[in-house]
Chain A
Amino acid sequence: MIKGVKQMVFSGLAEKLQETFRRLKGKGRLTEADVDEAMKEVKRALLGADVNFQVVKKFVQRVKERAIGQDILDSLTPGQQVIKIVRDELAALMGGTQSKINVSPKPPTLVMLVGLHGAGKTTSAAKLANTLRKTGRRPLLVAGDVYRPAAIKQLQVLGQQLDVPVFSMGDRQSPVDIARAAVEHAVGTGRDLVIIDTAGRLQIDQEMMDELAAIKAAVHPHEILLVVDAMTGQVAVNVAEAFNSRLGLDGVILTKLDGDARGGAALSMKAVTGCPVKFAGVGEKLDALEPFHPDRMADRILGMGDVLTLIEKAQASFDADQVAKLNQKIKNVEFTLDDFLEQLQEVRKLGPIQQIIGMIPGLGSMKKMKELGDIDDKELVYVEAIIKSMTPWERNRPHEINGSRRRRIARGSGTSVQQVNSVLKQFEQTKKMMRQFSEMGKSMKKGGRVPGNLFTGKGNPLF
């Protein structure tokens, strides 16, 4: 079963490439035919992640050139070697982490958000205000979407929630005038960061694109960010190209990354505009904006999951002693229901369980993992009641809790037998997940550089 879970986690490209190369064992050098075969899988993975077709073509060509004729390093299998090249190229293409915005030496700094309809501009504007406020800025939000019904109101409500002022002139003034007046207002009220929300628009709508150009000409934003939905398909390149050539973009915000989209649009964006993705939206709450990590995105696009984020989060949340103790217990199959309760509370500190599970492809779609993710705070109360209604003997031997014991526990905790069953089931699942955490942790500790080690190092669970 554990093995099954692991396969699910790392299924996708890595496994397919392993398959492709299995028959090549013993070869010392990658030939063109080998590489062609592998590139078909790479192409499929990238297209499946919605990387633009043209971008894929060029990328595959480049990787192929690099891979052919390469000696296979002693430490690697051919499959690992190709994955390493693909991954390195992909991460390099997406550039380093650059979650900074251009700050003007002469305040206020002006940021303008642009993009298609429904990409998430308004929410991102509020999130950005929230994030940058934490670095000491004094933001002003500007309601520049005068077209969509209640868009102004939406920004006002978000501003209120954050206690950040929102500048609006209603929906009868032109966005250009609004932007101009907003900057004056910011200067007058000592705001050093102006974030301008704009209406969603089609990149082929000349009139609407002209409007953005006019705002730019009027106030000269220091930073123009294109907001892009992570689920965007092939059209991402046209959109990026059109906005970039008209406005000259400085960066991208990739939204809705908390779902299961593989986010190939990120790669297309970078390839077309040369602009880095600076921030990632990972939830509806106003603090759900994160710096963007190209290397992790590379893994996600390739279908290898955001395993690193997960590990990092887990590390930040569990202290080392606790992890060591837990690892020991898991190894000795001593993990008990008491530990479960404690762990449940710990795991919850990592963030919403759904979000954590969502970072691991394969896991997110596993029914059993879904059940685990369904535990919410209210249920936690039941879980606690149920576990507390067990005798110490039972807590140490959950698998020996039979029907009549289950009925007694249900009565004692004021729950149903089904609820008791489901807690026991969730316990089993957690045990498995914990074991995975610990295995990931192990493979990390052995080698120095984390990302490289996870995917190419010896003794790594992947290969």
Chain B
Amino acid sequence: MGIFDRLKQSLTRTRQGLVEKIETLVSGHKSIDDDLYEELEEALIQADVGMDTAVDLIADLRREVKARGVREPEQLTSLLQELIGDILGQETVPLNTGGPPAVIMVVGVNGVGKTTTIGKLARYCQSRGQRVLLAAGDTFRAAAIDQLEIWGQRTGITVIKHREGADPAAVAYDALQAARSRGADVLIIDTAGRLHTKSNLMEELKKVGRVLGRELPGAPHEVLLVLDATTGQNAISQAKLFGQATGVTGIVLTKLDGTARGGVIIGIRRELDIPVKFIGIGESVDDLRPFHAGEFVAALFDRRDKETV
């Protein structure tokens, strides 16, 4: 399947889902009443928005309904989408520029999709005419270097690597030198997955950042935190602690091709000033897309997978 078919497919699913959801939510209600509000709140919670954020959103919604004199249940959902859009930002935020090379560090907890995202991101940059270099900064996990190298082969991009167990900061340093001498526009650095609560491992990340900054003022220009959409409220803690340690500049929300909605990013966005820049919608090299709040919100109310409890 080509890239456009894929996009279309995932979008259609999203739209269908939204329409269905709105219809079922709203059709049962002749007027805006407490039941409707409650159902919307439940839909938000089931999308991992979190109870506190969901409650606040519904309170805001009630206020807006009053202020604008909204009467039709149909208008509620679009109003709610607008409110969430205000939190998430209506504009698509592009990657930070800088360098050359523009240095992108990719961080996150274990298994969220960092390495896969790097493969996709490399293709994305490539398709915009940029020369890309990859750095195998995960020197810890078994076969992590081999994994990135396979993505390098798939995209025809060179991977700078050391051996397993090497100092990730040294890999980053070498990669930066290589990127300069080869005239690369973008350098993307993989890092080992780590739990945000392990301060020694967070120090290691800080060190990578410091080494890059010393060699190239302003680097890393982008620190992308990869969040798995299936993650619940713990993602807030991840965003906070990775943010504190590495100054995260953007979020990539992966695995949105599943049934998870990733609603937790609304809470994250309320508390922290980190934009979501990309979403991952599959395992192939083309399955990365810039984030659009509107589409995301539409998908929040999608129920492809009926509740079964």
Contact = CB atoms under 8 A, between A and B. Distances in A.
Nearest to A259: B195
A260 B234 CA distance: 7
A271 B232 contact: no
A44 B142 CA distance: 39
B200 A203 contact: no
Given A118-B111, A119-B111, A370 B199 contact: yes
A37 interface: no
B126 interface: no
A211 interface: no
Given A53-B45, A233-B232, A259 B109 contact: yes
Interface residues of B, number: 50
A198 to B, nearest CB: 15
Contact of B200 (A118, A153, A158, A376): A376
B142 A158 contact: yes
Interface string B276-309: 0000000100000000000000000000110111
B264 interface: yes
Interface stretch (A218-226, A234-242, A413-421): A234-242
Looking at A157, A158, A202, which has the most chain B CB atoms within 10 Å of its CB? Answer: A202
Contact of A284 (B45, B110, B235, B305): B110
Contact of B112 (A54, A118, A354): A118
Contacts of B47: 234
Contact of A157 (B50, B143, B264): B143
Contact of B307 (A50, A54, A264): A54
B190 interface: no
Contacts of B195: 256, 258-260
B257 interface: yes
Contacts of A151: 143, 147
A232 B232 contact: yes
B110 A256 contact: yes
A47 B45 contact: yes
A204 B304 contact: yes
A43 B52 CA distance: 11
B258 A203 contact: yes
Contact of B111 (A120, A265, A354): A120
A238 B234 contact: no
A181 B235 CA distance: 41
B142 A153 contact: yes
B242 interface: no
Interface in B192-246: 195-200, 228, 230-235, 237
Contacts of B308: 237-238, 241, 272
Nearest to A122: B142
A110 interface: no
Contact of B141 (A53, A154, A364): A154
A231 B197 contact: no
Interface in A225-258: 229, 231-235, 237-239, 241-242, 256, 258
Nearest to A199: B283
26 contacts: A44-B52, A48-B233, A116-B230, A118-B112, A118-B113, A120-B110, A148-B283, A149-B146, A150-B147, A161-B142, A203-B258, A204-B305, A229-B230, A231-B231, A233-B232, A233-B233, A234-B45, A238-B305, A241-B308, A256-B195, A265-B232, A271-B309, A284-B140, A364-B197, A370-B199, A374-B199
